[in-house]
Chain A
Amino acid sequence: MAKTIMIVDDSASIRQVVGIALKGAGYDVIEACDGRDALNKLTGQKINLIITDVNMPNMDGITFVTEAKKLPAYKFTPMMMLTTEAADDKKQAGKAAGAKAWLTKPFQAPTLLDAVSKLVLP
């Protein structure tokens, strides 16, 4: 049974690239364009990993992680932050909210897959 990963990013191109890479590796992918959109799409289906950008309109990544952690169906779901710069304060804030994994942008597909597979193998 394929593992499902949600990618939350306001950049359509990033969602696309990440989506292609993950699907190519054998994951199912759910896309969301910001934190609010993502919360609306968390409807109880099984998700094995959530990857989220930090700076997004409507709801930023850290708020989203905090909210998602409150949902019973996702409170134990691993969360990965995409930090634009190696901004350590953002990373720490993300960790505090519950996103223990992180990936520094810009990244290439192999780096993403490598980081993802530490948490969820396809």
Chain B
Amino acid sequence: MAIELKQQKKGVIQLAIQGELTIYSVLEHKQALSPYLSSAKDIQIDLADVTEIDSAGLQLLMFLKQEAVSRGITFSLSQHSEAVVEVLELLNLSKHFGDPIVISADWKSS
């Protein structure tokens, strides 16, 4: 499983997605993440180890955000990996997710 549950306490869920977040894995990811949407009050997803993300993966993040908002769950992304940032910047979605993005100095500029 490419999702690691880092912490779960008092409805605050901290998750980390690892490896690919692409069309090949989105179904699996959605199935793994959906249960938290009905239990958690606060979901934080660490994207540091996402090596690759495509449109399907991005769409899944948008979906999670929409679900969270409609259920009144706090939702945040953190530790965006280079691949994630590239896509968010390309699609002008950083503001949509509204999470602070830390750009590492050793990323190649893209």
Closest chain A CB from B22 CB (angstroms):
8
Tell me, yes or no, whether B23 is within 8 Å of chain A by CB.
Answer: yes
Instruction: Say whether chain A's binding surface is mostly helix, strand, loop, or mixed.
Output: loop
Residues of B with C-beta under 8 A to A1: 51
A-B contact count (CB 8 A): 4
Q: How far is the CA of A73 from the CA of B23 in the complex (A)?
A: 11
Residues of B with C-beta under 8 A to A107: none
For chain A, residues 63 to 97, give those with C-beta under 8 angstroms from any C-beta of chain B: 73, 76
Tell me, yes or no, whether B97 is within 8 Å of chain A by CB.
Answer: no
Q: How far is the CA of A1 from the CA of B51 in the complex (A)?
A: 10
Residues of A with C-beta under 8 A to B63: none
Residues of A with C-beta under 8 A to B24: 73, 76
Residues of A with C-beta under 8 A to B23: 76
Closest chain B CB from A117 CB (angstroms):
15
Residues of B with C-beta under 8 A to A73: 24
